Amino acid sequence: MTGSLAAIGAGIAVIGAGIGIGNIGAKAMESIARQPEAVGDIRANMLIMAALIEGAAIIAIILSFFIS
């Protein structure tokens, strides 16, 4: 039973990260469409932000492994 609880926790973490990264992607696309000349800066910042959000999700998933 603990295993399935951990899986639920991992799933919730992924939902959060998915929403976050989705928002970043949407806003980045929008801003690239508005200012195509800034595509390089936007892309770099988008990746950093995605990596930070992913970090939070990964910590949650690793914790769900440990606690279970």
Partner 1 sequence: MRTKSIFRVFLLLAILIGGFSNQTLASGGNDAPFNPGETALHHIADAHTFHFFGDIYIPLPAMIFYDRNGEGITFLPSSASFDIGKSGNGNIAIDRYVLQHGVVRRIKDTSFPMGKVNISWEGHASHGNDHSGHDHSGHDHAGHDHGQKEKGMKDKIMDELDKGHEVQAFYNGKGFDLEDRTTLDGGLAGGGMTSYMDFSITKNVFTMLFVAFLLGFVFLRVAKAYRTRDGQAPKGLQGFIEPLFVFIQDEVAKPMIGEKHYARFMPYLMSAFFFILGLNLLGQIPFFPGSGNASGTISITIALALFTFLITNLNGNRDYWTHILWMPGIPAAVKLIITPVEVMGVFLKPIVLFIRLFANITAGHIVIVAFVGLIFVLGESGKNLVGAGVGAVAATFLTMFMMALELLVAVLQAYIFTILSASYIGAAVEEHHHAEEAH
CA angle 22, 34, 55 (to 5 degrees): 25
Q: How far apart are CA 31 and CA 38, in angstroms?
A: 8
Token pair listed for 63: 């914790």
Binding of partner 1 by 30 (CB under 8 A): no
- Segment interacting with partner 1 (CB under 8 A) among 11-19, 26-34, 43-51: 43-51
Binding of partner 1 by 4 (CB under 8 A): no
Binding of partner 1 by 65 (CB under 8 A): yes
Smaller CB distance to partner 1: residue 19 or 59? Answer: 59
